[in-house]
Chains A and B, each alone.
Chain A
């Protein structure tokens, strides 16, 4: 009985915050200078994940990119990633050609996230990686 009130209060607070964690880590390629900029908006995820390499080349006249993602965590991580493409003037390429893709990254594993430009005029990109939102996240702050 003594613990019921605090318990109910915790439930009240926890149950209402049903907003998923949508921040993550990413890389942004500003202009064509190939100066990759790593962005970590979610330090907690940033500790578990690292972007170790970014490679680009031309395939059939389209910009082809692979970003190496390395896990620094012993358990599997359920992640999603999305490439966004920009033309030479920095305009986003319109259309829903690059959805969030699910990926399971096993403990301390390394994987390459491949991205292919949807059109020939897409020259730069940004990549965002975040966790797949789960019910468990609703109970985190």
Chain B
């Protein structure tokens, strides 16, 4: 009996050693899929960003109003911003970047970038004022094209939690306004619900 317990104790020790050496404390680096669904926690994550951007782009491109708008011309749009009304810090420029990139890629819209106006002004100033630049090659002021439409939106959230459960609801609204008439030509919203519950597995 005593021998058995010594034997099994040795076996346990060996297995534990295997367990520890086999899995623990081994840093493994691997490349993941940047577009796969990520469920690390319920905060706004890459999947939410991609879902929102892709749904808004699809909705805009498929809308009948946009169909007539883009039938013969490529309207010029500027992205105002997405107001972050959630309790989290979210880089909403990243969402608008994705949306404008996908819209540009579709070949149906053209964009002016308001975030780089100062840089453009600086460059044109340099070209027109600095004696280093050949005046014949300098781009004259007053030739840029004005935007016809403004893209803007809101991101809001409702967060609820108790001891066992946390629930977050995001609502993303986006609108396209005709700057000449002030009419909102297109609007859509998308919702995301994420829930965290305690796993049935104890660990």
Chains A and B bind each other: yes
Taking the complex as formed, is A96 at the interface, i.e. its CB lies under 8 A from any CB of chain B?
yes
Query: Which residues of the other chain, A, contact B67 by a CB distance below 8 angstroms?
Result: 59-60
29 pairs of residues in contact across A and B, judged by CB atoms under 8 Å: A1-B5, A5-B8, A5-B11, A8-B16, A12-B15, A12-B18, A12-B19, A15-B19, A59-B61, A59-B62, A59-B67, A60-B66, A62-B62, A64-B62, A80-B36, A82-B35, A96-B34, A96-B35, A97-B105, A99-B51, A101-B50, A101-B54, A102-B47, A115-B58, A118-B102, A119-B105, A134-B39, A136-B200, A139-B201
**Consensus secondary structure, chain B interface:** helix
Closest Cβ of chain A to B52, distance in Å, is 10
Query: Which residues of the other chain, A, contact B47 by a CB distance below 8 angstroms?
Result: 99-100, 102
Interface residues of B (CB under 8 A from A): 5, 8, 11-12, 15-16, 18-19, 22-23, 33-37, 39, 47, 50-51, 54, 57-58, 61-64, 66-67, 70, 101-102, 105-108, 199-201
Partner of B22, one of A5, A12, A100, A115: A12
Q: Please tell me if the beta carbons of B8 and A4 are within 8 angstroms of each other in the complex.
A: yes
Query: A82-B35, A119-B107 given. 15 additional CB < 8 A pairs?
Result: A1-B8, A9-B15, A12-B19, A12-B23, A15-B19, A60-B61, A62-B62, A95-B101, A96-B35, A97-B102, A98-B54, A100-B50, A118-B57, A134-B39, A136-B201
Taking the complex as formed, is A116 at the interface, i.e. its CB lies under 8 A from any CB of chain B?
yes
Taking the complex as formed, is A30 at the interface, i.e. its CB lies under 8 A from any CB of chain B?
no
Q: How far is the CA of A8 from the CA of B17 in the complex (A)?
A: 11
Q: Please tell me if the beta carbons of A100 and B8 are within 8 angstroms of each other in the complex.
A: no
Q: How far is the CA of A139 from the CA of B39 in the complex (A)?
A: 18
Query: Which residues of the other chain, B, contact A102 by a CB distance below 8 angstroms?
Result: 37, 47, 51
Q: Please tell me if the beta carbons of A114 and B54 are within 8 angstroms of each other in the complex.
A: no
Q: Please tell me if the beta carbons of B62 and A100 are within 8 angstroms of each other in the complex.
A: no
Interface residues on chain A, size class: 35 or more
Q: Which residue of B has the minimal Cβ distance to A4?
A: B12
Q: Which residue of B has the minimal Cβ distance to A11?
A: B19
Q: Which residue of B has the minimal Cβ distance to A136?
A: B201
Partner of A80, one of B37, B62, B106: B37
Q: Please tell me if the beta carbons of A101 and B105 are within 8 angstroms of each other in the complex.
A: no
Q: Please tell me if the beta carbons of A116 and B58 are within 8 angstroms of each other in the complex.
A: yes
Give the residue among A1, A97, A132, A139 with the most B Cβ atoms within 10 A: A97
Closest Cβ of chain B to A15, distance in Å, is 5
Query: Which residues of the other chain, A, contact B200 by a CB distance below 8 angstroms?
Result: 136
Cβ proximity bits A39-60 to B, threshold 8 Å, 1 near / 0 not: 0000000000000000000011
Q: Please tell me if the beta carbons of A5 and B35 are within 8 angstroms of each other in the complex.
A: no
Contact of A119 with B106 at beta-carbon distance under 8 Å, contacts A60-B67, A102-B37, A134-B39 already known: yes
Q: Please tell me if the beta carbons of B54 and A120 are within 8 angstroms of each other in the complex.
A: no
